[in-house]
Amino acid sequence: MRPRITYANAMATLALFLTIGGTAAAAIVITGANIKNNSLLSRDVKRESLEDRDLTRAAKAALVGTQGDKGATGSKGSKGITGVNGSQGPRGSAAYMTSAYSFLSTGVMTQRGTQTPNNGENNTGHDWDDPNYANDSINVVGGPYPNLRTLGNYLNVSLGNTMQPMTALTGMPGAHANATKSPDTLLRLTFSDGYLNAQASLTLLHRADGEDLTSHSSGAVRNGRAVCALFYGTSADPNALTQMAGIPAYVSSDMSHELVQVSLNGNAAGMAAGTQYNVTVKCRDADFTGNTQWQLVSGNLTTFISR
């Protein structure tokens, strides 16, 4: 009779196989070497189980797409809140100023309040510098009243070929009864430092070249020039001062007895604390011939130091 394999025989044989080889089968580890290249498909990988570190650099680079188009500009954001006020800055240094002045009238011009221009009884008239000015019994009693004093009756400040003082803070030497000038004074700097500023205004009288200063006649009328500048320093002597920064002022005249105005401005820096300063105006005849062609009539000088 031929033998038959029953269900019981099969189960017994399987049990024997598992008992002998089960331990060895459980110890098998599958590596990349056991997998054929290009054999795994996307369905063989668990979804979302791979990370960046599981990919090669080439794979990562292949995943980067081209840059997209620029997006539309976003709407303007709302205004931010106002910042808090900053702390108050340190207090600035105080401003200071000290000033001094000088004035001078030489007296060469008379200052009679009763003088009145007139045409004379025969309508001849007189110039202001005529000795017979206001010599009219109808208009003025007691004339004539000449407007130019004779030499020796005024303070003679004549311009020569070198710069000489016209008026200074310390005053002018040789005071005359018909001259007025400020008391001797110096501009004292009472604070730490500052800038010196000066302004001056002069009236000059232009005369004929070689004119007689007593009779105010004769001489040759020339087109002449005068030049003036401001000077400063610590000396009380106006002749020992240094010229200030500022352009000298020139004036000219081609008439006899013409009154010419001169205006000047000057400044200096680096004034030292506790120091006294003197300022003067100096002028000279720019076309000096040896004769007096320019004389000072009056002058005003204002100076101040500020910070």
pLDDT tens across 246-282, in order?
A: 889 999 999 999 999 999 999 998 888 888 899 999 9
In a domain, 17, yes or no: no
Nearest to 109, CA basis, from 300, 294, 297:
297
Q: Please tell me whether residues 282 and 188 are part of one structural domain.
A: yes
Q: Summarize pLDDT for 117-145 with one digit per residue, the tens.
A: 655 555 566 778 877 776 655 555 556 66
- C-beta atoms surrounding 172 within 10 Å: 22
Per-residue pLDDT, 142 = 56
3-class SS of residue 239: helix
Q: Please tell me whether residues 126 and 248 are part of one structural domain.
A: no
Nearest to 173, CA basis, from 271, 280, 286, 248:
280
Helix intervals (H) in the chain: 7-26, 57-62
What are the C-alpha distances in Å from 80 to residues 77, 83, 86?
9, 9, 17
Q: Which residue has the higher pLDDT, 99 or 91?
A: 99
In a domain, 78, yes or no: no
**Total length of the chain:** 307
The answer to whether residues 278 and 236 touch, using CB atoms and an 8 Å cutoff, is yes
Whether residue 94 is predicted with pLDDT greater than 80 in this model: the reply is no
Q: Please tell me whether residues 137 and 267 are part of one structural domain.
A: no
Alpha-carbon span 203 to 297, nearest angstrom: 5
Q: Summarize pLDDT for 210-242 with one digit per residue, the tens.
A: 999 888 888 999 999 999 999 999 998 888 999
Average pLDDT over residues 172-191: 70
Q: Please tell me whether residues 226 and 266 are part of one structural domain.
A: yes
Per-residue pLDDT, 6 = 54
Letter for the amino acid at 182? S
The answer to whether residues 233 and 240 touch, using CB atoms and an 8 Å cutoff, is yes
Per-residue pLDDT, 26 = 47
Per-residue pLDDT, 170 = 83
Alpha-carbon span 230 to 247, nearest angstrom: 9
Alpha-carbon span 67 to 59, nearest angstrom: 18
Q: Please tell me whether residues 165 and 292 are part of one structural domain.
A: yes
Alpha-carbon span 194 to 305, nearest angstrom: 6
The answer to whether residues 211 and 221 touch, using CB atoms and an 8 Å cutoff, is no
In the chain, the number of structural domains is 2
Q: Which two tokens stand for residue 41?
A: 């498909």
Q: Which two tokens stand for residue 214?
A: 């007593």
Whether residue 40 is predicted with pLDDT greater than 50 in this model: the reply is yes
In a domain, 192, yes or no: yes
Query: What CATH number should be reported for the domain holding residue 230?
Result: 2.60.120.760
Q: Please tell me whether residues 126 and 209 are part of one structural domain.
A: no
Whether residue 303 is predicted with pLDDT greater than 60 in this model: the reply is yes
Per-residue pLDDT, 207 = 95
In a domain, 121, yes or no: yes
Q: Domain span at residue 126? A: 111-147
Nearest to 214, CA basis, from 131, 270, 296, 273:
131
Q: Please tell me whether residues 257 and 125 are part of one structural domain.
A: no
Alpha-carbon span 249 to 94, nearest angstrom: 35
Nearest to 282, CA basis, from 184, 200, 208, 222:
200
DSSP letters spanning 20-46 = HHHHHHHT----GGGS-TT---GGGS-
In a domain, 52, yes or no: no
3-class SS of residue 224: strand
Contacts of 191 (CB under 8 A, 6+ apart): 96, 98, 273, 307
Q: Please tell me whether residues 203 and 299 are part of one structural domain.
A: yes
Q: Please tell me whether residues 213 and 254 are part of one structural domain.
A: yes
Domain boundary, last residue among 89, 121, 147: 147
Alpha-carbon span 268 to 245, nearest angstrom: 6
